[in-house]
Structures are given as C-alpha cells and as structure tokens.
Amino acid sequence: MKMPVGSRFAVLAPLLVLVMVATRFKHFGDMLHCPDASMAVFFLGGAYLRRHWMFALMVGLAVLLDWVSVSYAGVGDFCITAAYAFLPLAYAVLWYAGRWYSPRLQGNVRSLAGAFVVALVAASVSFAISNGSFYWLGGRYPDPNVAQYVARLWQWGPLFVRTTMSYVTVALVVHAACARLAANSEQVSHQEA
C-alpha cells in the first residue's frame, strides 16, 4: 500500500525544512554542525514534493537562514555578493531534476541508481552555476581567469557534490526500505484476503 500523496507531503515537507534549518543555519563555518544539506534538500524536494510553490518557499527559507546567520549568528558575509542572485537558478537545477525524475522513482535498484545519477549530474551543474557566478561576478577575485576558475572548481566541487550525494544516498536507502516494507505489507494484505 502506497502512502497517499497528501500524507507523503505532510511528512516530507516539514522533514526537509527541518534538515535545511539544522544543517544550513551556520553552514559558513563551525565544524560542530553537519555539512549543509541544502543541495540535497532541493533535489529531494523536487523528487518528493514537486510543487512549484514549495520550491519558492525553500528558496525563501535558504535566504532567510543566510540572513539570520549573517545578521545575528556572527557568520561573515564573504559569500553574499551580487552572485547570490544566481542561487535560485542553481537550486532550480536540483529541484527540477528531482521533479523530472520523480515519476521514474521506484524501489528497485535500477530506478534508485537512475535517481543517483540524475542527482549527481544535477549537483555538479548546480555547483558549477553557484561557484561560477561567485567567481566571475562576486567581485572577490582580482583578474579572474579560466585556469584559476577551473582550479577552484576542482578544489571545492568534489566536496560539495560528495556532501550532496551522501545525503541523497541516505534518502534513497530509506526510500528503498520504505518501498520494501510497503510491498511486504501489501503482500500480507493479499494473503489475508
């Protein structure tokens, strides 16, 4: 028996908001906190929540958390530049990749592997957009050039993408476990009938 869409939304929307708040609030520093899960939250939100207004709400939440971090939590504003305006585009890549893959997302290995690959590509493109806009438009680097940008992309990209994929992998494992439980429950129901 599958969870009704409304019930799934009611459970997952607050969970994804909680994960973003818990991991993003001081994401510019403090190693005592979990790595920022925002990129994974946007992919998973697209896959499970799908609604356009929810994407806008999550972008608003990300901006609010950054504002609170900079204004009240003592986090530096080094990353807040004109390039910050490109974050919604970077997050949209993740959300809409998840949303696009959502109808194909089942509990089997092939489907989960497909979700992993789509998330990996989306996370890489998303990072390239956010990092590229920061490097080229952020005004933090005098005399930007392609060689320096590529070096920075390779320096930071694997960390951000690996972090995103770690969270996505955990979510896909939970998805597989829930699908298996649902299939077993349905099988028991048919046997009892």
Question: pLDDT by residue (tens digit) across 135-160?
Answer: 888 877 888 889 988 998 899 899 99
Rounded mean pLDDT of the chain?
A: 87
Confidence of residue 164 (pLDDT cuts 50, 70, 90): very high
d(CA 7, CA 83): 37
d(CA 163, CA 165): 5
By percentage, how much of the chain surpasses pLDDT 70?
85
Q: What predicted TM-score, i.e. pTM, was given to this entire model?
A: 0.88
Residue 104 vs residues 99, 131, 162: alpha-carbon distances, Å: 10, 30, 23
Tokens 């509990």 map to which residue?
107
d(CA 135, CA 132): 5
What are the residue ranges of helices labelled H in 1-51?
Answer: 5-24, 38-48
